[in-house]
Amino acid sequence: MDRATFACSTAFFRDYSSSSQGAFCLPGGHVDFIEKVESFTYSDFFRDYLIPNHPCIFSAKFTEDWASRRSWVTWDGKPNFDYLLQKFGEAVVPVANCDVKEYNSNPKEQLPFKEYIKYWKEYIKNDYRSSRGCLYLKDWHLSRAFPEQDVYTTPVYFSSDWLNEYWDAIAVDDYRFVYMGPKGSWTPFHADVFRSYSWSANICGRKKWLLYPAGQEEYLKDRHGNLPFDVTAPSLQDRSVYPRYNQSQPPVEIVQEAGEIVFIPSGWHHQVYNLEDTISINHNWVNGCNVAIMWCFLQDELAAVQREINEWKDPMDDWHLQCQLIMKSCTGIDYKEFYNFLKVIAENRISVLENGLDDEASAKNTPKAAISTLGMLHAVFDLKRTVKVLTSLSANEDFKKLDLTSLSPPPEALLHHLKAAIDTALL
């Protein structure tokens, strides 16, 4: 991060409101196309897309060096089933049935990868029809299952990735996924986990994206407050069911070609179709620009849980704890883990600011090496944003009702350390 971008980000977030971020209409639905690698810097992306929460598309030049672009694809641009079977045939993968709706999503099953590829080949041979329906391999944690495989390199633009930095540190989960599906497979209308950013790179095939800027989803809810499963369904025209649909803007439509990367802003709902047999790689990620959106999302989720079990508030002694447990089961995180998430992010940056990295550590693919690569000013920006959100969390009444004695260091001590580190770095 250069000084001009640091100054720009500091000024923007001084007057920032997470509720308004991304609440705008792109002129004519236009989405910028980034053509050249050599003339597009990290600071360009940070300033023009991360801060204002705008989508963009990166050309295939940004992925042309990835091993998967060569080995996973045949000469005519199709999935290389033989190679994929050789490398991953014995893996067990999550597969969704796109033809079945179950609790507003597609039901999933676990299948051997070799069985899924057999199905896919037969599906193509039968003119994209099967009695089993249209099956879509989704949310496969391939990087975690096969860390030794040379598949891709995360572009520097997406390297400030707090979600995967934290979950890698506790060795529990990650938010790096591979998707593989035939022509006609699709993902229903949704926003990403924690209202995170996402980036999605097509290894082969083509996708169509329907994007709705943050806030537009409110106009798409039915009279009960539920979002549609399929945003293209004719039933949305029924004003007795969807009373505000006519107030919504048309979606921003993107057709993503092979090799291209789509950046999806934080909190933007979307629906995605595979126009051809397609393989893609996707990361969900949070950083200093959208961590406040994540925090707002968690507060909304807790409030929804509290409304659902409000009748048990008086007779249940540990009602507040139960609300946290339910929220974690639904979203994957509760308030105390969110504190630990912020702590890990902050401590990694303080370590780099206070101690730096030796040459050997800098050469390794570690979070601290990534922090060092992005520069001191980026680390300071991250700490400033962490202080802002941690201050809000510490003052939150629901957080204060929890048993916080297990948190180390206590929130007040961590805040003091962060502020001191920022002051020292800016001397």
117-154 per-position pLDDT tens digit = 999 999 999 999 999 999 999 999 999 999 999 999 99
Residue showing tokens 């780099």: 352
| One-letter identity of residue 422 | I
362 pLDDT band (50/70/90 cuts)? low
Handedness of CA 357, 362, 366, 369 (dihedral sign): positive
What confidence score (pLDDT) does residue 356 get? 75
**Mean pLDDT calculated for residue range 343-347:** 97
> How many degrees, rounded to 5, is the angle at CA 189 between CA 186 and CA 194?
115
> DSSP of 74-142, one letter per residue?
-TTSSB-HHHHHHHHTT-EEEEEETT--BTTB--EEEEEHHHHHHHHHHHHHTTS--TT--EEEEEE-H
249: tokens are 């803007």
Residue showing tokens 């630990």: 340
What confidence score (pLDDT) does residue 345 get? 97
Asked if pLDDT for residue 16 goes beyond 80, the answer is no
357: tokens are 């990295």
What confidence score (pLDDT) does residue 17 get? 62
> How many degrees, rounded to 5, is the angle at CA 330 between CA 328 and CA 332?
50
Q: How far is CA 275 from CA 68, 94, 183, 257, 287, in A?
A: 20, 21, 5, 10, 31
Percentage of the chain modeled with pLDDT above 70: 95
Asked if pLDDT for residue 306 goes beyond 80, the answer is yes
What confidence score (pLDDT) does residue 29 get? 74
Asked if pLDDT for residue 358 goes beyond 60, the answer is no
* Span 245-264, pLDDT tens digits: 999 999 999 999 999 999 99
Q: Could you tell me if 251 and 198 are in contact, meaning their C-beta atoms sit under 8 angstroms apart?
A: no
What is the side-by-side strand order in the sheet with 186-190? Answer: 186-190, 269-274, 207-212, 252-256
Least confident of 27-36, 255-264, 383-392: 27-36
| One-letter identity of residue 370 | A
Handedness of CA 109, 111, 113, 119 (dihedral sign): negative
Q: Buried b / exposed e across 261-288, counting CB within 10 Å, b at 16+?
A: bbbbbbbbbbbbbbebbbbbbbbbbbbb
- Give the contacts of 172 (CB within 8 A, at least 6 positions apart): none
361 pLDDT band (50/70/90 cuts)? low
* Span 198-228, pLDDT tens digits: 999 999 999 999 999 999 999 999 999 999 9
What confidence score (pLDDT) does residue 135 get? 98
pTM beyond cutoff 0.85: yes
> DSSP of 55-79, one letter per residue?
-EEE-GGGTTT-HHHHHTB-TTSSB
Question: In which element (H, E) is residue 383 found?
Answer: helix 376-395
* Span 160-190, pLDDT tens digits: 999 999 999 998 889 999 999 999 999 999 9
Domains, in order of start, for the chain: 25-213+249-285 (2.60.120.650), 291-425 (no CATH)
Q: How far, in Å, CA of 323 to CA of 304, rounded?
A: 10
Q: Could you tell me if 205 and 278 are in contact, meaning their C-beta atoms sit under 8 angstroms apart?
A: yes
24 pLDDT band (50/70/90 cuts)? low
**Mean pLDDT calculated for residue range 366-370:** 77
